[in-house]
Structure 1
Amino acid sequence: MSNHEQHETKERPVKRSGMSRRQFLSYTLGGAGAFMAAGMSLPMIRFAVDPILAKKAGGTWIKVVEESKLTTEPQEFKFQIHQIDGWYVSDPELTAWISKDDKGTPFALSPVCKHLGCTIGWNTEKNEEYVCPCHGAHYTKDGKNLVVAPKPLDEYDLKVEKGWIYLGPVKANTRV
């Protein structure tokens, strides 16, 4: 080996297999920072997602009126439901128009007009129809849309148990 070759090997930096101090510190600080960020963000994510993942209760039936009090003329009945929306708990008062059809089978209609969401009334114009006071929509006793409204009135799920009428969730009208 010549002098020149010995001189070159002395000046070359020694290559080490492994990680430098700088890389070690970068990885360590980056890992610790990621661990702390995850520790802070997981509770916030859980706070936002838990209500969405909570199991929904099955359909709730509300006891509204005795079946013996119903006639073929629609009557307005008010009732309260208990609802939980995320962390907001409320007991809103709802309304249903309940009557019996020609066969004596009870049914309940929602009072929400399908045109623009106003509250309808029964026989306000002495015409044996539901009428929307806001925009003039008319519906038959079964909730069939006659004028203005694009769809029939919605109806409540209804069941009769031990002489009482129970109402469930609102559904599309099956009578018309």
Structure 2
Amino acid sequence: MSQRVTRRQFLNYSLMGVGSFMAATMVLPMGRFAVDPLFQTGSDSKMIQTSAKVSELGETPTKVDFKYEQKDGWYSSEVTDFAWVYKKGDKIIALSPICKHLGCTVTWAGDESQPDQFFCPCHNGRYEKNGKNIAGTPPISPLDQFEVGEKGGMLTIGAKGENQLV
């Protein structure tokens, strides 16, 4: 005796199949989004080579440009950034140009009355040469410091972190 499928059973099976397919199309991308970072390779210690020669760096902070590839989700773009770099004895110092008050860009000797300081034009914020914020001005913490190195006589810049000089 063959078992016949009624119309009601057929519709029930069809709706369950379509509903399962729709649920899977929603859940699988969310699962991949949650698990994908576990399989990414870390690139935190990647050093970026700049066009600045270490032998040409002096005691006055100099603007050094560098480029790196930034990946946002599935979109990859080339970003141009810069750092204020100078030598203190044999040590190379690279400071972030981003003010810790509101994220404006600081300049070296930007204020004529304070030629040996970093100056933020947004709210007249000032920093010492080592990145320490000057009391009485808007910034509440020192400028960030970049990891630096040398490769073939050229300056390399790495990850940004807390200022270790102050």
Measured against the shorter chain, the TM-score band is 0.7 to 0.9
In 2, distance between residues paired with 1:164 and 1:37? 55
Ranges in structure 2 where 5+ consecutive residues have no aligned partner: 1-5
TM-score, L = length of structure 1: 0.75
Bigger strand share: 2
Q: How does 1:11-160 map to 2 (within 5 A)?
A: 28=13, 31-45=16-30, 48-49=33-34, 52-59=37-44, 60-64=46-50, 65-101=52-88, 103-126=89-112, 127-146=115-134, 147-160=137-150
Q: How far off its partner does 1:155 sit?
A: 0.7
Worse-superposed segment, 47-56 or 68-77: 47-56
In 2, distance between residues paired with 1:91 and 1:61? 15
Q: How far off its partner does 1:28 sit?
A: 4.8
Secondary structure of 1:36 counterpart: helix
In 2, distance between residues paired with 1:51 and 1:91? 23
In 2, distance between residues paired with 1:56 and 1:91? 19
In 1, distance between residues paired with 2:108 and 2:10? 78
Ranges in structure 1 where 5+ consecutive residues have no aligned partner: 1-20
In 1, distance between residues paired with 2:21 and 2:104? 52
In 2, distance between residues paired with 1:125 and 1:42? 56
TM-score, L = length of structure 2: 0.80
Q: How far off its partner does 1:172 sit?
A: 0.7
Secondary structure of 1:92 counterpart: strand
In 2, distance between residues paired with 1:116 and 1:34? 50
Letter in 1 for 2:98: V
User: Structure 1 33/71 Cα, relative in aligned 2: closer, same or farther at 3 Å?
Assistant: same
- Percent of paired sites with the same residue: 29
Secondary structure of 1:80 counterpart: strand
Q: How far off its partner does 1:50 sit?
A: 6.4
Deviation readout 1:106-143 (Å, 9 max, x if unpaired): 01000000111110000122420000011111111100
Letter in 1 for 2:71: I
Larger Rg: 1
In 2, distance between residues paired with 1:133 and 1:35? 59
In 2, distance between residues paired with 1:32 and 1:44? 19
